[in-house]
Structure 1
Amino acid sequence: MAKAKKIKKKVTRQHPNQLNLKIVTSTTCQVCKQQCKRGLQYMEKMSQPGAIGYGVPCILTRDKK
């Protein structure tokens, strides 16, 4: 007899109040009215010649799902 495969549920959040942060680029950080420490550090890093960036999580655009 063949055994049935168990289907595991995918855990999307570890906590019910976990926040989802949007990833923003340095151009978004530049025009932001409330520039945060993380955004300022990222803008400084991206101002260097040859810098490659993938964005930073923005605490100001958080979304509670």
Structure 2
Amino acid sequence: MVKAKSKKPGQAKGEKTRRGLKIVTSEVCEVCKTPCSAGMEYAARMRIPGALGKGIPCILTKISS
């Protein structure tokens, strides 16, 4: 008898993790209720036409281990 693998809950689009912090895109930083300086600088860089970015770790969304 073969056991079926259980599916892990998927992360929402744009929500990856890095050392306990979620990686967020500039769209998330734009609508954040408590903006931080790093997020606002990243969002400003992404407003430039042709800018490429993979997101930044958000210090406000710590994930408990």
Taking structure 2 as the reference length, what is the TM-score of the superposition?
A: 0.69
Aligned residue in 1 for 2:31? 31
Query: Over aligned residue pairs, what C-alpha RMSD do you find?
Result: 0.9
Shift of 1:60: 0.5
Runs of 4+ off more than 3 Å? none
Kindly report which structure 2 residues correspond to 1:1-65, keeping only aligned pairs within 5 A, or say none. Answer: 20-65=20-65
Higher relative contact order (CA 8 A, sep 6+): 1
Structure showing greater Rg:
1
Give the distance between the partners of 1:52 and 1:33, measured in 2 at CA. 24
For residues 2-33 of structure 1, the C-alpha deviation after alignment (integer angstroms, 9 at most, x for no partner) is xxxxxxxxxxxxxxxxx610000000001100
Give the distance between the partners of 2:31 and 2:44, measured in 1 at CA. 14
- Report sequence identity in percent: 51
Give the distance between the partners of 1:59 and 1:20, measured in 2 at CA. 9
SS in 1 for 2:49: coil
Taking structure 1 as the reference length, what is the TM-score of the superposition?
A: 0.69
| Equivalent residue pairs, number | 47
Give the distance between the partners of 2:43 and 2:62, measured in 1 at CA. 19
Contiguous gaps of at least 5 residues in structure 2: 1-18
